[in-house]
Amino acid sequence: MSQPKIKRRVGKYEVGRTIGEGTFAKVKFARNSETGEPVALKILDKEKVLKHKMAEQIKREIETMKLIKHPNVVRLYEVMGSKTKIFIVLEFVTGGELFDKIVNHGRMREDEARRYFQQLINVVDYCHSRGVFHRDLKPENLLLDAYGNLKVSDFGLSALSQQVRDDGLLHTTCGTPNYVAPEVWMTVLNDRGYDGTTADLWSCGVILFVLLAGYLPFDDSNVMNLYKKISAAEFTCPPWLSFGAMKLITRILDPNPMTRITIPEILVDEWFKKGYKPPVFEEKEDTNLDDVEAVFKDSEEHHVTEKKEEEQPTAMNAFELISMSKGLNLGNLFDGEQEFKRETRFTSRCPANEIIHKIEEAAKPLGFDVHKKNYKMRLENVKAGRKGNLNVATEIFQVAPSLHMVEVRKAKGDTLEFHKFYKSLSTCLDDVVWKTEEDMQETK
């Protein structure tokens, strides 16, 4: 295998492929060159942050994640800044999203769902005890590590207790509509405040329902109809749930926050208690926020150095190749059955430029605009789908001189629409995808 060439370095971190993308941030796979440890590097553009007046929210996200040190929360290692960028160094979690597990395998057995729910409640209880409310709990923000343990991520919408007004309530509306408590919806209609503790618990109840049922308890394409269903707790538990599970879900999805079950009550619930083992971990010393202050004061003496080399298909070494495959199983990486995921990959013996040309040829008839930059492409559907315009990002990596790996990832839009697009795309790329002799025999 060819030696990897560093395309970009930020301080002591070697920066690789893009693994996530949002409105204000891009997340890259990176590696600590001193320890070899893989990390996720969240990169924010300072100009965008200031333009959209997001500095305080970003600073809050960083301070929150530094404050929360729990085995089931994605760890924040450090924060750095350059003249134009903010870099947040996070734990690299390899097991994917809990959302993908549900979409791929459907509803869970009660014992499996209970284990994830127990870990979630333990994290939420820990956060609340430190004055932190997440406010956007949903399966997409729940990751899994290599051992199948829950890792709560994305505190970008979290609120610290200092944001609570004199009435003891929060007044900012945020979150994902299907998972949001009725009292949070009410802030839109009449500016009534809400208790972050009970609002987070409601979201936990929706998550538990999704884990056990395989679908949402409240869903409607019309936003006002959705609000009516949520405010009336208009849902029906599927018949396969045990009485204990139904009872607990009903007590959590109580539209009245004053009578909704509390965490201390959940902890003694008979269904919840089964096999419950709270994590044992050591609390560390007080959190140091000096690096956060330096970044947001934009002190030049603390600026991190950025180095770039000539663009080419990113070379990938064995370490990175294995890290892209869940459970360190290379069979998962090259498996053709990669449905129901937000990203998928294939290998090709074609030259990189030819792969780009073929993808462009295949995407345009499917209604996609194509934007190219070096060995990356962004495909944007001109027609809006269920969740806006589907955006697909592709990147080509060099595994060996005569072998490339192509990553196709949903950057924006509906996941199921992405699956449909990828099926159509893969049909058009049949002559590009590398097939082994065994594959060829199976198709005969």
Tell me what pLDDT residue 68 has.
79
Catalytic (active site) residue 136: yes
Rg of the chain over all Cα atoms, to the nearest angstrom: 23
Q: Which range among 149-158, 258-267, 337-346 shows the weakest confidence by mean pLDDT?
A: 337-346
- Output the average pLDDT for the chain: 77
Residues 418-430: b if buried by 16+ CB within 10 A, e if exposed: bbebbeebbeebe
**One-character DSSP codes across 361-398:** HHHGGGTEEEEEETTEEEEEEEEEEBTEEEEEEEEEEE
User: Which pLDDT tens digit goes with each residue over 268-285?
Assistant: 999 999 999 888 777 665
Which one, of 18, 134, 156, 131, lies nearest residue 72 by Cα?
134
The CATH superfamily of 98-273 is Transferase(Phosphotransferase) domain 1 (1.10.510.10)
- Residue positions forming the annotated binding site for ATP: 42
Its pTM stands at 0.64
Which of 136, 154, 195, 200 is catalytic? The answer is 136
CATH of 314-443 given 3.40.50.2300, 3.40.50.300, 3.90.420.10, 3.30.310.80: 3.30.310.80
Give pLDDT, residue 318.
Answer: 53
Pick the more confident residue, 122 or 154: 122
Known binding positions: 42
Domain map (residue ranges) of the chain: 8-92, 98-273, 314-443
Please tell me the predicted confidence (pLDDT) of residue 3: 43
Question: Measured in whole angstroms, how far is the alpha carbon of residue 384 from the centre of its chain?
Answer: 23
> CATH fold of 8-92, please?
Phosphorylase Kinase; domain 1 (3.30.200)
Higher pLDDT, 136 or 333: 136
